[in-house]
Amino acid sequence: MAEKILEVKDLVVEFRTDRGRVTAVNGVNFDVHKGRTIGIVGESGSGKSVSALSIMRLIPNPPGEITGGKILYRGEDLLNKPIEAMRTIRGNKIAMIFQEPMTSLNPVFTVGNQIEEVLKLHQPELSKAQRLEKSIEQLKLVGIPSPDKRIHEYPHQLSGGMRQRVMIAMSLACEPDILIADEPTTALDVTIQAQILELMKKLQTELGMGIIMITHDLGVVAETCDDVAVMYCGQIVERADVKTLFSSPKHPYTKGLMESIPSFDSTLGKKRDRLPTIEGMVPSLFDLPSGCNFQDRCKYVDDKCRGSQGDPQLEEAASGHSVRCFHPLNA
Amino acid sequence: MNIYAYIFRRLLYVIPVILGVCAIIFLIFNVVAPDPALIILGKHATAEQVVEIRQQLGLNKPMLSQYFDIVRSAFTFDFGRSWSTKQEISEMIKAGAVPSATLSFPAFFISTILGISISLLVAFYRGSMFDKVTVVGCVTLMSVSSLAYILFGQWFFAYKLGWFEISGYDYGFPYFIPYILLPAIIWVMLSVGPDVRFYRTIMLDEIYQDYIRTARAKGLSERVILFKHVLKNAMIPIITYVVIQIPFLILGALLLESFFSIPGLGSITLNAINSSDFPVIRAMTVLSAVAYIIFSVITDVLYTLVDPRVRLS
């Protein structure tokens, strides 16, 4: 196993709202290894983005607050660091790209200016000319044609895919240990999506960083991730390496997600079955049921799941394969 | 397309706008308003007197020619003579512009700088006690009538404490300063409330944008984020708000000038309204319309400087 660079331990994030406190992330654990990609999958509101933002300590406070757990980066707890120390890590050791390439770049500064800004901040020893040179190099690295011209352009002159490439160029300018990608391809066309994922994979092999890939798209997971954590209602419900997870999902929710992917055969074949779906809705974080959070949507539900023996815990069902379920499925 | 060609083209658009504005002014003053001859002469005028005064005032000319008189005045600033004082109106405006400008420009400048600075501070400490107190303070300042500030200021600070002149004006620098101090302070008090509230909304709007989150993720300090990323984006609405107020500064402050006996354009306008001095009122209307149009052109040009998304086409 590759070197462990980041360890998220029992992370708890709460939000204060008009209707009271909600726990958006409830005891999440995962590790990031050098050169490997961990995928965090889940529906909207499952807490995957909040977990990612917590690592950067970018949870807007108020209303959000990290109320428990540890985030160990190379053994040091990021949650205990003063904000000034945290700023030397952001964009430098741990970088992040976002879901909205159209709005994530500042519209009134040139692309070059925005890349150089990171370099100026974290590598003050570089001269102005060196910064410019390095910025152009970064744009070349992410496959932007005629980078020496593009560097003087404004974000609105670039397409969505190009902007996401610029974001990647910017985030990798200081060669970070970890790249957090929060749904980096959700807003892009499928063809562009494939290009961006391909690019990220290529850069990962070149630079050796660990990637946290936040997504709701199992296709993206299958294509890019080494390990996967499935989140539901602020908790990880299943965690395994990608092959194991896809071949033998143990949590009924994970299985439901897999089954609801339209397959090529089912849409083109003679037999046009209805696509299976997961019945019901995600429960409101304001009133989660006691016991398993997935009980109302699960076909294997019994008294145990309804809380007669407490909440289910994330337990290792097989080597390297953990699941939070009283009735884990057998492959 | 270069910026000069853009300005030139933008200025060409001014012509139809001025024609339209003049048409509205013409309708209001020469068609809808009561016959000025009767206003001047009163109810007991004889027919000959009416004919004579109509001739004097040029009211017997064809409608179209009266309309073009207004249009011409918008370009030449030759507004004829006042009915009540018989002075050249352009001379009156020149004389009134100086006292108005010595009050309005410093007051406006200070209140704008103050408004932007306070709103940046408030945006920095958003959600804190300081933010809340400032917002409440702004609303309080705004809610008190301007008359209360004027009367209290004149009675307490000028009369009782003797810190300021109660009213009046003296020409030339620095002699006017004691006279404009109190009205300028009142001006700032009156405008800083709405200004801070407006700028604060703009700043907070920017602070929650995605690119600000990106800036934080880059490791930038909150100070750099505020002064570089937020402020440059906020400049776009701020410019609109600031520049479009300038024409009104030129016209002077009606209430402040008349209470403090400052012989500016505001006083001239008020006197003209009181004495139904149509040519003066009309001159001020035309002047404000022209100023407004010119400053909206300036706003557009400034946009191209701060916002790269505004293409010159």
ipTM of the complex: 0.86
Q: Is the pLDDT of residue A303 over 60?
A: yes
Question: What integer best gives the mean pLDDT of chain B?
Answer: 87
Q: What is the pLDDT of residue A226?
A: 92
Is A89 close to B219, i.e. CB distance below 8 A? Answer: yes
Closest by Cβ to B219, choosing from A92, A110, A156? A92
- The total of other beta-carbon atoms located within 10 Å of residue B60's CB is 12
- Collapsing DSSP to helix, strand or coil, B83 comes out as coil
> Residue A324, CB half-sphere, CA atoms under 13 Å: how many?
25
Q: Is the pLDDT of residue A269 over 60?
A: no
In angstroms, the CA B254 to CA B268 distance is 9
- Please indicate whether residue A280 or residue A230 has the higher confidence score (pLDDT): A230
Closest by CA position to A53, among listed A114, A5, A98, A7? A98
Contact predicate B202/B196, CB 8 Å: no
Q: What is the pLDDT of residue B58?
A: 77
Alpha helix (H) ranges present in A208-260? 218-224, 242-247, 252-259
* Interface check A58 vs B, CB under 8 A: yes
Q: What is the pLDDT of residue A287?
A: 82
Residue A29 CB partners (closer than 8 Å, separation 6+): A8, A9, A10, A11, A236, A314
The domain spans of chain B are 3-76, 89-306
In angstroms, the CA B155 to CA B158 distance is 6
Q: How far is CA B110 from CA A59, A321, B180, B191, in A?
A: 37, 66, 13, 10
Closest by CA position to A214, among listed A36, A41, A30, A26? A41
Q: Is the pLDDT of residue A230 over 90?
A: yes
Q: Is the pLDDT of residue B313 over 60?
A: no
Q: What is the pLDDT of residue A272?
A: 62
Of chain A, the percentage scoring pLDDT greater than 70 comes to 96
pLDDT band at A118, cuts 50/70/90? Answer: very high
- Please indicate whether residue A110 or residue A316 has the higher confidence score (pLDDT): A110
Residues of A within 8 A of B218 (CB-CB) are: 90-91, 117-118, 121, 170
Q: What is the pLDDT of residue B210?
A: 92
| Highest mean pLDDT pick, A249-253, A269-273, A286-290, B168-172 | A249-253
pLDDT band at B311, cuts 50/70/90? Answer: low
pLDDT band at B115, cuts 50/70/90? Answer: very high
Q: What is the pLDDT of residue A270?
A: 56
Tens of pLDDT, residues B229-274: 999 999 888 988 898 888 888 777 888 898 898 998 999 999 988 8
Q: How many CB pairs under 8 A join A and B?
A: 70
Of chain A, the percentage scoring pLDDT greater than 90 comes to 40
Of A289-293, B35-39, B88-92, B126-130, the range with the lowest mean pLDDT is B35-39
Q: From B306, which residue of chain A is nearest by alpha-carbon distance?
A: A108
Q: What is the mean pLDDT of residues B49-64?
A: 82
Residues of B within 8 A of A95 (CB-CB) are: 217
- Collapsing DSSP to helix, strand or coil, B81 comes out as strand
Contact predicate A104/B213, CB 8 Å: yes
Q: What is the mean pLDDT of residues A127-131?
A: 92
From first CA to last CA, the distance across chain B in angstroms is 7
Closest by Cβ to A156, choosing from B219, B220, B309? B309
Closest by Cβ to B307, choosing from A105, A108, A117? A108
**DSSP-based helix, strand, coil % in chain B, nearest 5:** 75, 0, 25
Residues of A within 8 A of B309 (CB-CB) are: 107, 154, 156
Write down the pTM of the prediction.
0.80
Is A90 close to B219, i.e. CB distance below 8 A? Answer: yes
Is A154 close to B309, i.e. CB distance below 8 A? Answer: yes
* Interface check A91 vs B, CB under 8 A: yes
Q: What is the mean pLDDT of residues B285-298?
A: 87
In angstroms, the CA A99 to CA A193 distance is 12
Tens of pLDDT, residues B81-110: 888 888 889 999 999 888 998 999 999 999
Sign of the Cα pseudo-torsion (A126, A123, B218, A184, in order): positive
Q: What is the mean pLDDT of residues A14-29?
A: 89
Q: What is the mean pLDDT of residues A3-12?
A: 91
Q: What is the pLDDT of residue A210?
A: 93
What's the one-letter identity of residue A269? G
Closest by CA position to B288, among listed B35, B33, B32, B79? B79
Per DSSP, B180 falls in state H
- Please indicate whether residue B91 or residue A265 has the higher confidence score (pLDDT): B91
Q: Is the pLDDT of residue A18 over 60?
A: yes
pLDDT band at A151, cuts 50/70/90? Answer: very high
Q: What is the mean pLDDT of residues A270-292?
A: 79
- Please enumerate, as own/partner, the contacts of B251-255 that have beta carbons within 8 Å and a separation of 24 or more: B251/B100, B251/B284, B251/B287, B251/B288, B251/B291, B252/B96, B252/B99, B252/B100, B252/B103, B252/B104, B253/B100, B253/B103, B253/B104, B253/B183, B253/B187, B255/B146, B255/B147, B255/B150
Of A57-71, A251-265, B10-24, the range with the lowest mean pLDDT is A251-265
Residues of A within 8 A of B229 (CB-CB) are: 106, 109
The architecture (CATH level 2) of B89-306 comes to Orthogonal Bundle (1.10)
Q: What is the pLDDT of residue A266?
A: 57
Q: What is the pLDDT of residue B61?
A: 84
Q: What is the mean pLDDT of residues A167-192?
A: 88
Q: What is the mean pLDDT of residues A206-217?
A: 91
Closest by Cβ to A104, choosing from B210, B221, B309? B210
Is A107 close to B219, i.e. CB distance below 8 A? Answer: no
Closest by CA position to A216, among listed A23, A45, A20? A45
Q: Is the pLDDT of residue A331 over 70?
A: no
Q: Is the pLDDT of residue B138 over 90?
A: yes
Closest by Cβ to B219, choosing from A87, A104, A110? A87
Q: What is the mean pLDDT of residues A117-143?
A: 91
Burial label, B182 (beta-carbon count in 10 A; 0-12, 13-18, 19+): buried
Residues of B within 8 A of A170 (CB-CB) are: 218
Closest by Cβ to A90, choosing from B210, B211, B217? B217
Of A36-40, A105-109, B66-70, B131-135, the range with the lowest mean pLDDT is B66-70
* Interface check A61 vs B, CB under 8 A: no
Burial label, A290 (beta-carbon count in 10 A; 0-12, 13-18, 19+): exposed
Question: What integer best gives the mean pLDDT of chain A?
Answer: 88
